[in-house]
Amino acid sequence: MSNASQIEPVHVVGGGLAGSEAAWQVAQAGVPVVLHEMRPARMTEAHKTHGLAELVCSNSFRSDDAESNAVGLLHQEMRRLGSLIMHAGDKHQVPAGGALAVDRDGFSEAVTAALEAHPLVTIDRAEVAGLPPEEWDQVVVATGPLTSPALAEAIRGLTGADALAFFDAIAPIVYRESVDMGVAWFQSRYDKPGPGGTGADYLNCPMNREQYEAFVDALLAGETTSFKEWEANTPYFDGCLPIEVMAERGRETLRYGPMKPVGLTNPHRPDEKPWAVVQLRQDNALGTLFNMVGFQTKLKYGAQAAILRMIPGLENAEFARLGGLHRNTYLDSPRLLDGTLRLKAAPRLRFAGQITGCEGYVESAAVGLMAGRFAAAERLGRAVRLLPPTTAMGALAAHITGGHILAEEDEDEDGVEGAGAVEGAPKPAKPRSFQPMNVNFGLFPPLEGALPKSADGKRLRGSAKAIARKKALTDRARADLAAWLAEADSLGVAAE
Ligand SMILES: Cc1cc2nc3c(=O)[nH]c(=O)nc-3n(C[C@H](O)[C@H](O)[C@H](O)COP(=O)(O)OP(=O)(O)OC[C@H]3O[C@@H](n4cnc5c(N)ncnc54)[C@H](O)[C@@H]3O)c2cc1C
């Protein structure tokens, strides 16, 4: 880092999950970076604080299982590449079964403090309200799904293409003390302890068949927020469907999705198998707030509180935050970006995070990690080497920049965030256009060669085959990442 003062800075626009990670990677490579974040001067519809890397909804980074879950593998790869987001997440984790969930304030404060303390990082609290100035010759745009309108318009003008839009919905948060523990109980599904957990991390609210049917009826009758004209034809992302939309898709959909009753035993009524279960996950380190897992909704506030209080145990629930709607803006990346995430029409602009069409906190940070490294390598005059497409990061980048394929369903450790992730739930329709995508094994190139056989020499079938396949995919990813790291210096540039 000794001659860093002679190196022109890389500019990163947006201090969210992706921009914070990108700025960190650039600085760690010895290149100065200016991080432009518009909050608190200008807020988005979802952000509430001025902290960098604020988590706007759930506090979960999802499964931490690197053997059989694609997002768990992504965690592992990011840790190997010195991710600030993963380091802060690990440091501020709260119990959440097999998932990695974090104390959102502690996490955001840790990311902010690390960037503020880095000698090569300058933080500029101002909106970039239009195309970045021409003299910024290397820019990473990481302004997220709620990119400010002035910048979104400028990008749209530059690409000549309409940015696509769709809806996500926010899940409600409940005060723990308002939950009736004479009805609810603590247990993780199948008592799985997971990282930092105890096996009894979730609050569970059981329903019998009559209660479930009445709840579905209420959801179907509930008044939802109406669409504005410009929102009217915007499709939902299938991995994050509102509960009332799931109910519309079929009366059983919720029971196979966020309300599935498996792996749980009600200690208050051990002989009675619940027909459905609503799970709540710890949302802050103090354990005073719990979010309703997979319960994103666009029900109007009045109707919403009344319907949610039909859930046994939540009759007197007090809500720290009710569910809501948001719009998402993202690029048609396979068409507009090159393999290193640069805008083909203006290669000085590189994109990262959710605006590229990845979906999720961890995916956004992972794309930020790659964009930061690519930008630093370019600034240092080195050839940029992509990650192998057999790794979770490489597969995600290949999906964004190389086009999309229809992903197979991927089960989270949580297993319940949305209908798209749930066994038995309706499968998302084959996308006709590029759609935001969580990392999943469907993005990985197929395995070469046969899977190992069972102990008695037979071909594996069913779930045993699926487990073996995931293990083979994650083993291959680890081996290929290790080989890539052995060949490359810390920037992913071939050793000279
Ligand atoms: C309401 C909502 C709920 C979501 N819930 C979840 C969830 O529960 N789990 C999950 O995994 N993912 C969720 N997502 C999706 C996604 O993971 C997050 O949006 C994630 O924060 C994306 O990371 P990012 O870095 O791309 O964008 P962000 O984290 O949004 O960061 C973008 C940053 O850019 C700043 N900015 C915008 N425009 C400008 C400008 N012109 N100049 C300067 N700064 C600017 C913003 O203030 C913001 O800090 C949700 C998204 C939204 C909008």
Gap between the Cα atoms of 155 and 228, Å rounded: 23
Inform me whether the pLDDT recorded for 299 exceeds 80.
Answer: yes
Inform me whether the pLDDT recorded for 15 exceeds 50.
Answer: yes
Question: The tokens of 86 are what?
Answer: 């993963």
User: Residue 473 domain-assigned?
Assistant: no
Confidence at residue 438, expressed as pLDDT on a 0 to 100 scale: 84
Confidence at residue 411, expressed as pLDDT on a 0 to 100 scale: 34
Classified as helix, coil or strand, 85 is: helix
- The DSSP output letter for 264 is -
Confidence at residue 332, expressed as pLDDT on a 0 to 100 scale: 85
User: Residue 478 domain-assigned?
Assistant: no
| Kind and range of the H or E run holding 280 | strand 276-282
Confidence at residue 239, expressed as pLDDT on a 0 to 100 scale: 63
Does one domain contain both 130 and 229? Answer: no
Ligand 1 atom with the smallest distance to the CA of 18 is 25
Q: Which residue has the tokens 């897992």?
A: 293
**Of the given ranges (104-113, 208-217, 440-449), which has the lowest mean pLDDT?**
440-449
142 lines ligand 1 (CB under 6 A): yes
User: 178-222 pLDDT, tens per residue?
Assistant: 999 999 999 999 998 877 778 889 999 999 999 999 999 999 999
Q: Do the Cβ atoms of 23 and 12 come closer than 8 Å? A: yes
Inform me whether the pLDDT recorded for 169 exceeds 80.
Answer: no
Gap between the Cα atoms of 181 and 249, Å rounded: 32
Q: What is the mean pLDDT of residues 384-412?
A: 74
User: Residue 84 domain-assigned?
Assistant: yes
**Of the given ranges (68-72, 199-203, 240-244, 390-394), which has the lowest mean pLDDT?**
240-244
Classified as helix, coil or strand, 93 is: strand
Q: What is the mean pLDDT of residues 286-300?
A: 88
| For residue 428, cis peptide bond before it (omega within 30 degrees of 0) | no
Q: Do the Cβ atoms of 237 and 417 come closer than 8 Å? A: no
Gap between the Cα atoms of 307 and 302, Å rounded: 9
Mean pLDDT, the chain, rounded, equals 87
Does one domain contain both 156 and 33? Answer: yes
Q: How many residues does the chain have?
A: 496
Which distant-in-sequence residues (6+ apart) come within 8 Å of 132 by Cβ?
A: 11, 13, 139, 141, 349
Which distant-in-sequence residues (6+ apart) come within 8 Å of 482 by Cβ?
A: none
User: Residue 474 domain-assigned?
Assistant: no
Distances (CA, A) of 132 to 31, 301, 330: 19, 39, 18
Structural domain that includes position 9: 4-163+331-447
Letter for the amino acid at 220?
A: L
- The DSSP output letter for 224 is B
Q: What is the mean pLDDT of residues 293-316?
A: 94
Q: What is the CATH number of the domain that holds 128?
A: 3.50.50.60
51 lines ligand 1 (CB under 6 A): no
Q: What is the CATH number of the domain that holds 241?
A: 2.40.30.260
The residue out of 409, 425, 447 marking a domain boundary is 447
Q: Strand 139-141 and strand 346-351: pairing?
A: parallel
Does one domain contain both 123 and 52? Answer: yes
Confidence at residue 168, expressed as pLDDT on a 0 to 100 scale: 64
Does one domain contain both 255 and 398? Answer: no
Does one domain contain both 282 and 152? Answer: no
The residue out of 327, 350, 378 marking a domain boundary is 327
Q: What is the mean pLDDT of residues 278-301?
A: 88
Ligand 1 atom with the smallest distance to the CA of 171 is 8
418 lines ligand 1 (CB under 6 A): no
The residue out of 327, 357, 385 marking a domain boundary is 327
Q: What is the mean pLDDT of residues 215-242?
A: 74
Does one domain contain both 60 and 128? Answer: yes
Could you tell me what percent of the chain has a pLDDT over 70?
Answer: 86
User: Residue 264 domain-assigned?
Assistant: yes
14 lines ligand 1 (CB under 6 A): yes
132 lines ligand 1 (CB under 6 A): no
Q: Count of domains in the chain?
A: 2
Does one domain contain both 158 and 178? Answer: no
Pocket probe mutation, ligand 1, options 128, 141, 146, 437, max atoms within 8 Å of Cβ: 146
First to last CA, the chain: 19
| Kind and range of the H or E run holding 185 | strand 185-186
Phi, psi for residue 265 in degrees, rounded to 5: -125, 125
Q: How confident is the model at residue 28 (pLDDT cuts 50, 70, 90)?
A: very high
Q: How confident is the model at residue 406 (pLDDT cuts 50, 70, 90)?
A: very low
Gap between the Cα atoms of 250 and 15, Å rounded: 40
Does one domain contain both 174 and 323? Answer: yes
Does one domain contain both 322 and 360? Answer: no
Does one domain contain both 384 and 401? Answer: yes
Question: The tokens of 380 are what?
Answer: 């240092």
Does one domain contain both 132 and 180? Answer: no
User: Residue 79 domain-assigned?
Assistant: yes
Distances (CA, A) of 168 to 238, 253, 294, 309, 418: 9, 18, 12, 23, 11
Query: How far does residue 85's CA lie from ligand 1's centre (Å)?
Result: 14
User: Residue 456 domain-assigned?
Assistant: no
Does one domain contain both 173 and 244? Answer: yes
Q: Look up the pTM and report it.
A: 0.79
User: Residue 268 domain-assigned?
Assistant: yes
